[in-house]
């Protein structure tokens, strides 16, 4: 039997790390693309480095030559194109870079496969996004809902979606898009709203932060657990025909609801007062007397700095096709479980960071006083 060889772009990201674990457990040989940076920061995959079937290679989505050479060397049977400038707000500040990586980058991967004559041997998964629905034209959104991208990120991803479809039809390649709705985890980047909230709730509960500043609290998202979603990426490539799928939980919550629940798991009950820019989350009660000094304090406030020029405010996915055709269960991890997993993780992280910082301070003092040499 021929070996399954996966090439993952974006292997250092949230999804790339979970997908690597998932494919390694299935016996795949996994190759990941990393890019040069001045600090080697690969926290999410550090535990996989040294695993016999796990290999990392330098390349960049902006560098066709590196991709062509790497695809030729690895001879993948499956490519998971997860690499992207994935932050919507950042795409307003760096629109050209976002277009280069998130749009033309997809074309570069497709052409790398064609240049190496692997059209028939290699299947391609493209990380598409619910942001394509943008200024939504219907709720909930499914595979037939019209797209209306509403940020430079979404416009770039729309190109990625269509070029995948084009190569499928023009060259008969097995390439598909997973239209994934927001998926989060304890490995989520710290500037996405969910992780920003769970980290802040943990810091506020441990006296390390006074207040959390957020943008649009009314925004609605369909949030799932990233660990559950990587299975779908694989299932999409195992389906008999190349097709695009919406991957979502089918349940919607506001940013405000996410914040209330995160603070609840950190031992703090919030009440909300005011509207718009003046809205505040105030501590109504606490589960532990050691937090009673927080009662009546404002711990969440709104800042215009986190408003977007255009914001996508009503994402709600219909995963019926994935459920029926792929046999995927969209409710493996509930919203409540997801928030609890993230808060528990961040409560421990904040406590561990505190211990490490005290140890560093003590060590510096001991060195200065000559107590340790
Ligand atoms: P992420 O944590 O931001 O990871 C992005 C990955 O892309 C990182 O490994 C990053 O490398 C890599 N990357 C960025 N620019 C690159 C370049 N020029 N060359 C090579 N690699 C580059 O994103 P994620 O949450 O795992 O999402 C994975 C994919 O799914 C992305 O395409 C995202 O747009 C899409 N998506 C995500 C969601 C979601 O809710 N998470 C929903 C729908 C679609 P560094 O570590 O070096 O920065
Ligand atoms: O967490 P977010 O930054 O995620 P967003 O914009 O939905 O994008 C994520 O999900 C997409 C799938 O739909 C992916 F394609 C994309 O790569 C990324 O993973 O923001 C969620 C919502 C937005 O409406 C935003 O305006 O939360 C609102 N929000 C309110 N306050 C905030 C904040 N977002 C961030 N990042 N920071 C805030 O302080």
Helix (H, G, I), strand (E, B) or coil at 280: strand
Helix 64-74 vs helix 105-115: crossing angle, to nearest 10: 40
**What number is the average pLDDT over the span 236-259?**
98
pLDDT tier at 1, thresholds 50, 70, 90: low
22-54 residue pLDDT tens: 999 999 999 999 999 998 889 999 999 999 999
User: If you measure from the C-alpha of residue 269 to the centroid of ligand 1, how many angstroms do you get, rounded to a whole number?
Assistant: 34
Q: How confident is the model at residue 358 (pLDDT cuts 50, 70, 90)?
A: confident
How high is the pLDDT of residue 41?
Answer: 82
Ligand 1 centre and the CA of 102: distance in Å? 9
pLDDT (0 to 100) of residue 40: 80
Phi, psi at residue 237, to the nearest 5°? -80, -15
Query: Residue 135 has what DSSP assignment?
Result: S
pTM of the model: 0.97
- The DSSP bridge partners found for residue 273 are 280
Say what percent of the chain tops pLDDT 70: 100
Which ligand ends up closest to the CA of 246?
1
Residue 99 has pLDDT above 90, yes or no: yes
Structure tokens at 43: 């926290």
Confidence class for position 363, pLDDT limits 50, 70, 90: confident
Q: Which residues does a 6 A CB cutoff place in the pocket of ligand 1?
A: 9-16, 33, 35, 60-62, 82-86, 101, 127, 129, 180, 182-183, 189
Cα–Cα distance measured from residue 179 to residue 102, given in angstroms and rounded to the nearest whole number: 14
Give the model's pLDDT for residue 371.
79
Task: List active site positions.
Answer: 129, 131, 153
pLDDT digits (tens, 9 = 90+) for 296-351: 999 999 999 999 999 999 999 999 999 999 999 999 999 999 999 999 999 999 99
Q: What's the pLDDT band for 368 if we cut at 50, 70, 90? A: confident
């Amino acid at each position: 039997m021929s070996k399954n060889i996966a090439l993952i772009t974006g292997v250092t990201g949230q999804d790339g790390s979970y997908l690597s674990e998932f494919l390694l457990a299935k016996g795949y040989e996994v190759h990941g693309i990393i890019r040069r940076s001045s600090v080697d920061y690969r926290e999410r995959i550090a535990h996989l480095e040294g695993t016999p079937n796990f290999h990392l290679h330098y390349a960049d989505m902006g560098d066709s030559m590196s991709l062509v050479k790497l695809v030729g060397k690895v001879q993948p049977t499956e490519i998971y194109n997860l690499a992207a400038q994935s932050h919507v707000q950042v795409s307003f500040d760096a629109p050209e870079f976002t277009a280069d990586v998130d749009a033309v980058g997809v074309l570069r991967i497709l052409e790398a496969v064609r240049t190496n004559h692997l059209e028939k041997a290699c299947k391609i998964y493209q990380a598409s996004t619910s942001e394509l629905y943008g200024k939504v034209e219907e709720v909930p959104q499914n595979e037939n809902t019209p797209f209306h991208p509403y940020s430079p990120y979404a416009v770039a991803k729309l190109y990625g979606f269509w070029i995948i479809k084009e190569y499928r039809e023009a060259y008969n390649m097995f390439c598909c898009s997973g239209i994934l709705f927001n998926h989060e985890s304890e490995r989520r980047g710290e500037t996405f709203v969910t992780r920003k909230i769970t980290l802040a709730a943990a810091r506020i509960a441990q006296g390390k932060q006074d207040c959390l500043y957020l943008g649009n609290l009314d925004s609605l998202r369909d949030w799932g657990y990233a660990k559950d979603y990587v299975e779908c990426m694989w299932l999409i490539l195992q389906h008999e025909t190349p097709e695009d799928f919406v991957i979502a939980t089918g349940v919607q919550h506001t940013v405000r609801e996410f914040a209330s629940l995160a603070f609840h798991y950190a031992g703090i009950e919030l009440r909300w007062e005011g509207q718009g820019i003046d809205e505040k989350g105030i501590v109504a009660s606490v589960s532990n007397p050691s937090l009673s000094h927080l009662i009546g304090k404002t711990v969440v406030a709104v800042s215009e700095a986190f408003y977007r020029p255009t914001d996508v405010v009503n994402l709600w996915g219909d995963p019926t096709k994935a459920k029926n055709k792929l046999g995927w269960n969209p409710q493996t991890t509930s919203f409540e479980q997801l928030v609890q997993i993230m808060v528990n993780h961040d409560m421990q992280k904040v406590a561990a960071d505190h211990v490490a910082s005290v140890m560093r301070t003590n060590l510096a003092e001991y060195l200065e006083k000559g107590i340790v040499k």
